[in-house]
Amino acid sequence: MDDNFRNECIDKIASKISDEKISADQPSPENLVYLQKFAITLGVDISNTEEIVNEAFLYIAMKNAKDIDPLTKGDEFGAGFS
C-alpha cells in the first residue's frame, strides 16, 4: 500500500472516530467492525483493514499525548519507530 494513501486513510478513520465520539481507549468490537467496513469504502484491501484501524487509534493516542514527540518517543506507543 502506498504510504500517502495509507496516511490519508488513517487520517480519515481517525477523524471518523473523533467525529462519532467512538472511545479511543476501549472501542467495542462492533465499533471496530464498523471502522473496518469504513476502511473498505476508502479503498483499503480487506486484508489490511484491521491494521489500518489500529493505526488510526494509535495516531489518535499519539496526537492526544501531551509533550510527546512521536518521532523520538514512538516506541513508547508501539509505533515501531524511534
Helix locations, the chain, DSSP H: 3-19, 29-41, 49-64, 70-73
pLDDT at 2: 85
Q: Show pLDDT as tens, one digit a residue, over the chain (82 residues).
A: 788 999 999 999 999 999 999 988 888 999 999 999 999 999 999 999 999 999 999 999 888 877 666 556 555 555 544 3
Residues 6+ apart with CB under 8 A from 56: 10, 13, 14, 17, 35
C-alpha cell at 72: 523520538
Residues 69/77, Cβ–Cβ less than 8 Å: no
Residues 61/67, Cβ–Cβ less than 8 Å: no
